[in-house]
Amino acid sequence: MVFLPTRILRQVPRPDRLHQDVAIAMLDQTVLSVFNFVLQMALVRFWSPDRYGVFALFANALLTLANLQNGLFTTQYGVLVPQAQEGEERQLLRAAIFSWNVVFCIVAAVAVSFLIRYLATDQTVPTLLAGMLYFGLNLLREYTRVTMMSEGRVATALWTDLAGLFVTILTIFAWLHFYAATDIWHILLGLAMGSATSVAIEVATNRHLYPLSLSTRVRLRYADVFRRHVTWVLAGIVTTEIQLRTLFFLLGAWYGLAAVGVVQAGLMLFRPIGVLWFAWSRIMRPAFARAYANGNDAQAARLAHLSAAAFLVGTLALLAVLYLAWPLIDHYVYAYRYPGVGQATAFWGLVMILSFVRGTYSVRMQGQARFRELSHVSLVAALLTVALVVAIAHFRGPIDTILANVAGELFMLGAVMWIMDRKITA
């Protein structure tokens, strides 16, 4: 894809185009999500459940690794690099975060691929090797994507993602042409080749953003970042995962998989806004960091309030559409096979309203690098949610347990709003 214009690859939007950056990031995330959804549906359609199950292990493992990478590296880049006032310190941070991210990508790719091979013992050597490339290159692609967005080069991220998708689709169709049936390693390798294309375009064009070094100075700098920030970010991620996932595990244990299916089916309808919020957070996290580094606290507050209002209105609008279209949704999507899914959807709507608004202000707190306080709030909210899930599941029913998340999100929102504007202490 060397034919992409250099002026596009080096494009840096002006600060007054922040709204355009958010729109492009949302478009980028939407394109990737639609592609992944179509691919998953095609694999379900043409593969047997056991073969698709192995691919699902790889896909879910990548999501877990991406969450871990987010805590270890990408969140640090999105907050600390924009806050750095001196060019030398900024470059040292880039070297420290990127170099250890490369180590993480290699170690995680090898370790998790062997773990999946242990769980699915009938997998071939090509699948093992393709899995390593799939994990390593996708994680590296995620890092470069966050770097581009943090540096204000959002259009570049979109172009390189489109280039990677083109290579992935071309590779998969090539396998279909030369083989009667695609194997797991064909798909994994196609996805890896697309990520490799995107990474190669970006790194070749902006090599100064990806300095690789494991010198003593670089190691000590990342050790300081880890001590001051990473441990708290990871703690927040773990507690948030507990808050979100405990509900499904407890429902499965007490009420069976059918109850889990109904509750999950109601949540599924809110994924479109979740995709948009995720894209928004990638742009706004460094934007908040820059605003606070420059002393523009009022600008950061205004951006947070406007964003929270937008997600509130958007979620309410989606709820209104779901309400009006519910007879069609229940007939064509659920086929009347999910009793209680309407109530589950309404309850999840309440949760999502609070979650997106709270998440907006949480990203603002991350822009202040207040990871420790945020992790403390997440821990208390997780404990409160789990306790309420147990109580409601015992005295009420499976669908009512969704309301435990309403209480947890309300607590987090109140705590974040109370903490956010207080003076930052060392």
Are both 239 and 332 inside the same structural domain?
yes
pLDDT score recorded for residue 350: 95
Q: Please, which residues have CB within 8 angstroms of residue 23's CB and are 6 or more apart in sequence?
A: none
- On whether residue 223 sits in a domain, the answer given is no
Dihedrals phi, psi of 34, to nearest 5 degrees = -65, -45
Same domain, 408 and 271: yes
Shared domain for 237 and 184, answered yes or no, is no
- Whether 77 and 197 map to the same domain: the answer is yes
Residue 122 domain-assigned (yes or no):
yes
Do 191 and 303 fall into the same domain? no
Q: Round to whole Å and give the CA distance between 144 and 44.
A: 30
257 and 357 assigned to the same domain: yes
How far apart are alpha carbons 78 and 367 in whole angstroms?
8
- Does residue 188 surpass a pLDDT of 90? yes
The average confidence (pLDDT) of the chain is: 84
Tokens for 401, please give them.
Answer: 């347990």
Number of structural domains (the chain) is 2
Long-range contacts of 80-83 (CB under 8 A, 24+ apart): 80/225, 80/229, 80/289, 80/369, 81/150, 81/286, 82/150, 82/286, 82/287, 82/289, 82/290, 82/293, 83/289, 83/290, 83/292, 83/293, 83/369
Structure confidence by residue, pLDDT tens digits, 4-24? 344 433 443 444 567 788 888
pLDDT in tens, 113-155: 998 888 776 778 899 999 999 999 999 999 999 999 888 888 9
Per the model's pLDDT, the better-predicted residue between 45 and 282 turns out to be 282
The answer on pLDDT for 370 being more than 60 is yes
pLDDT at position 423: 60
279 is a domain residue: yes
Q: Which of 83-87, 129-133, 168-172, 359-363 has the lowest average pLDDT?
A: 83-87
- Both 374 and 253 in one domain: the answer is yes
pLDDT by residue (tens digit) across 46-57? Answer: 777 677 778 878
**In this predicted model, what pLDDT tens digit does every residue of 166-175 receive, in sequence order?**
999 999 989 8
The pLDDT value given to residue 49? 64
- Same domain as 401, residue 260: yes
pLDDT for residue 397: 82
Residue 257: its pLDDT value, please?
67
Which whole number is the average pLDDT over 306-321? 94
150, 185, 214 - which closes a domain: 214
Structure confidence at residue 410 (pLDDT): 94
Predicted confidence at residue 313, as pLDDT, reads 95
Say if 177 falls within a structural domain. Answer: yes
Is 136 in the same domain as 22?
yes
Query: What whole-number percentage of the chain has pLDDT above 70?
Result: 92
**Domain edge (last residue) among 174, 189, 214:** 214
Q: Are residues 176 and 311 in the same domain?
A: no
Judge if 395 and 305 occupy the same domain. Answer: yes
Residue 222 lies in a domain: no
Whether residue 251 is predicted with pLDDT greater than 80 in this model: the reply is: no
Task: Note down the domain range covering 150.
Answer: 6-214
- DSSP class of residue 423 equals P
Domain boundary residue among 150, 180, 214? 214
Report the pLDDT averaged over residues 304-331. Answer: 92
Q: What is the pTM of this model?
A: 0.76
Q: What percent of the chain has pLDDT over 90?
A: 33
Q: Looking at the structure, do residues 257 and 289 belong to the same domain, yes or no?
A: yes
Q: Bigger pLDDT: 219 or 45? A: 219
Residue 354 lies in a domain: yes
Is 1 a domain residue?
no
Task: Please report whether residue 219 resides in a domain.
Answer: no
